[in-house]
Amino acid sequence: MIETMKSPSYPAVRRFVQSPLVNGIVRIFRYRTAFIGLIIVAIYLIVAVFADSLAPYSPVDQQPKAMMQSPNPAHWLGTDEFGRDILSRLMHGATNSLRVSVFSVAIACLFGTILGMVAGYVGGLADIIIMRVMDLLFAFPAILLALFIVTALGAGARNTILAIAIVYIPIFARVARGPVLALKTKEFVQAALTLGAPHSRVLIRHVLPNISAPILVQVTLALSWAMLTEAGLSFLGLGTIPPNPSWGSMLSDSRRLMELAPWTAVFPGLAIMFGVLGFNLLGDGLRDILDPRLRM
Amino acid sequence: MVPLYTCVKRGWINKWIEWVVASGGIPHHEPLPTFLPYLAIMKQFLVRRLIALIPTLLGISIIVFAVMHLIPGDTITAMIGTQFKLTETQAAALREYYGLDKPLPEQFGRWILATVQGDLGYSVRKGEPVLPLILRHFPLTLELALFAMLIAVALGVPLGILSAIKRDSAIDLAGRVFALIGLAMPNFWLGTLIILVLSLYFQIMPNAGNYVDFFTDPIANLKQMVFPAITLGFAASADILRMVRSSMLEELAEDYVRTARSKGLAERAVILKHCLKNALIPVITIVGLETGYLFGGAVIVESVFALPGIGRLLLDGIGERDYAVVQGTILFIAFNFVLVNLLTDLAYSWVNPRIRYD
């Protein structure tokens, strides 16, 4: 697809169009599953950002006259025991869930990538120390470590973000370190150093673009895990604080009246599942596109 | 189930042996050493791995200790809460007992010494030391995790093989969709749905009644455990399916498979006797890793099904701010996780003699 495009004459534009990122996005459209994933993710993002204007009702207003209604034209997905509209709560839940996932993965990606790059590039003692600490964080099951950190810090969105970020830092460190080890001996890196470029510039301008593909894949997959972890923590009552809507806590609340109002248990779960599925499909697809060696 | 003597009487056993011989016989390769003598051979490796375990365990302890100190304010006040007022002297006495008035490194030293001696602290809410409490709750979690892994392997391995040998067919598509759903479906939702369906349509309440342990009443115990185990094992089965599928596909493309086929072996023998053995080697790693993760997942599943395992203990501890229990449980699960990983490594080098760690 890129080949058929007329090569732009401005170097900056050409670099942008031919960058792995844009190249990848263009090629997504050729992969069916990745495309489905992209559509799902896009829908979730739109709903999350515009939840205020899209949601038909307020997510927290209680309507005593509309308690525990099954799905009907006025409330498409029904209402819960306080008469709150489930669709509206799910939409605002998307805002919460995506905010937590995006921020936590962004923090994890930033620190993890920096640590991994430094470990791989500097090598020696720095490498040993950084990677040992990362291995230690790997020695806990992810959900458990997040649970533990949130317990110590206290529930709430900010602490959840922090906890999930800490849990996923080692993954990014590992993903970044491997290729950096191979890249630092390459001629173009050596050439840049010989020309007098400082290490920071070499890392950012020469090494980083070459590891951006696996990191991008990892970001997408980590977003799906972060979404699951956030839902799990909220389910246990440690994530988002009620009455703010969150998919996990909606599921947890639904257990009390499940037999009377099964819809309260079904829809939040579907929301989580499709969100995670979307990011997984997109991540798997991106991996196929960007790194054909890892194709499953 | 057909009893064994019927099989002998009808000559099935002989037919089976004939089939094995006809399909190329059992391939020749060096017999695996049995596991215990193998450990003797690998003693050096084992000793080195056990020594390497010490800094890992120490590091885990440091992390657990550090996170516990993130708790804002004073642990004693946080633990007791506001309903119950301690006098200043009582609080001071407790602080002195726990060494909270000492500098951090000294606190850590005291704590780690106690931990090594099996003293994980005292649960204020349960009124007993933490370690016996954990040991009493652990068998359930262990059983749940192993049972879940059994289900995951029983589902994941055959489906993965089918998916690989019928690549790009409807079966393959079904297998891949199953894997995608398994990975995306949160276990607490699956558990909730299982309870919902069972109670609405079958009038079974899987999360009601008291827990019966396996040795008192195996049948009742398995009845209680089967649904939580399915819930917990579902995601792991999806992971195993993907792993088996991709490693089977890799093996099917190898030269020895072409050789086996060209010498006229039945396809069944090629797949079951030649490919599968090699394809299952990487699967061992994922099974080991997943078993470790199941200990974490068990926390949520136990809460869904109201099972009194170690996860339940941890969540109760969190809810009641019983920090000694929280700290002890987390440490215990992390130690188990590390041990499971070590065992996985050993099993991996055992079945794959090409790998020798030296």
B205 touches chain A (CB under 8 A): no
Is residue A246 a contact partner of residue A97, using CB atoms and an 8 Å limit? yes
Q: How far is B249 from chain A (nearest CA, A)?
A: 9
- Residue to substitute from B64, B167, B318, interface A, most A β-carbons within 10 A: B318
- Residue to substitute from A40, A133, A236, A277, interface B, most B β-carbons within 10 A: A236
CB pairs under 8 A between A and B: 129
All residues of chain B having their beta carbon less than 8 Å from the beta carbon of residue A246 are: none
Q: Residue B122: phi, psi to the nearest 5?
A: -125, 130
All residues of chain A having their beta carbon less than 8 Å from the beta carbon of residue B60 are: 136, 139-140
β partners of residue A85: A79
For the stretch B35-43, contacts whose Cβ atoms lie closer than 8 Å and that sit 24 or more positions apart, written own/partner, are B35/B350, B38/B350, B39/B346, B42/B346, B42/B349
**Through-space distance between the first and last CA atoms of chain B, rounded to whole angstroms:** 47
Alpha helices for chain A (secondary structure H): 11-17, 20-28, 32-49, 51-54, 86-122, 124-138, 142-153, 157-183, 187-194, 199-201, 208-235, 247-254, 263-290
A278 has a pLDDT exceeding 80: yes
A2 has a pLDDT exceeding 50: no
Going by C-alpha positions, the residue among B54, B193, B58, B39 that lies closest to residue A265 is: B193
- Point out the residue among B60, B195, B295 whose CB comes nearest to the CB of A136: B60
B200 touches chain A (CB under 8 A): yes
- Helix or strand or coil: residue A115? helix
Q: How far is A32 from chain B (nearest CA, A)?
A: 13
B188 touches chain A (CB under 8 A): yes
Q: How far is B304 from chain A (nearest CA, A)?
A: 9
Q: How far is CA B315 from the centre of its chain?
A: 19
All residues of chain B having their beta carbon less than 8 Å from the beta carbon of residue A139 are: 56, 59-60, 334, 337-338, 341
Q: Environment class of residue B54 by beta-carbon count within 10 Å: exposed (0-12), middle (13-18) or buried (19+)?
A: exposed
Which has more pLDDT, A111 or B224? A111
In chain A, the residue whose alpha carbon lies closest to the alpha carbon of B189 is: A269
Residue A79's contacts (CB-CB under 8 Å, 6 or more residues apart) are A63, A66, A67, A68, A69, A85, A86
Q: What is the pLDDT of residue A4?
A: 46
- Residue to substitute from B74, B189, B286, B290, interface A, most A β-carbons within 10 A: B189
A135 touches chain B (CB under 8 A): yes
- Helix or strand or coil: residue A85? strand
Averages of pLDDT over runs of 10 residues in chain B (358 residues) are 63 66 55 65 76 86 84 69 69 74 81 84 81 90 92 92 87 88 91 87 71 78 87 92 90 87 87 83 84 86 89 86 85 88 80 61
Q: How far is B267 from chain A (nearest CA, A)?
A: 23
Answer yes or no: is the ipTM higher than 0.90.
no
- Point out the residue among B55, B195, B297 whose CB comes nearest to the CB of A143: B297
Q: What is the pLDDT of residue B285?
A: 83
Q: What is the pLDDT of residue A240?
A: 79
Q: Write out pLDDT tens, residues A15-57.
A: 776 777 777 666 666 677 888 899 999 999 999 999 888 888 8
Q: Write out pLDDT tens, residues A157-213.
A: 889 999 999 999 999 999 999 889 888 888 888 899 899 889 889 888 888 888 888
Q: What is the pTM of this model?
A: 0.82
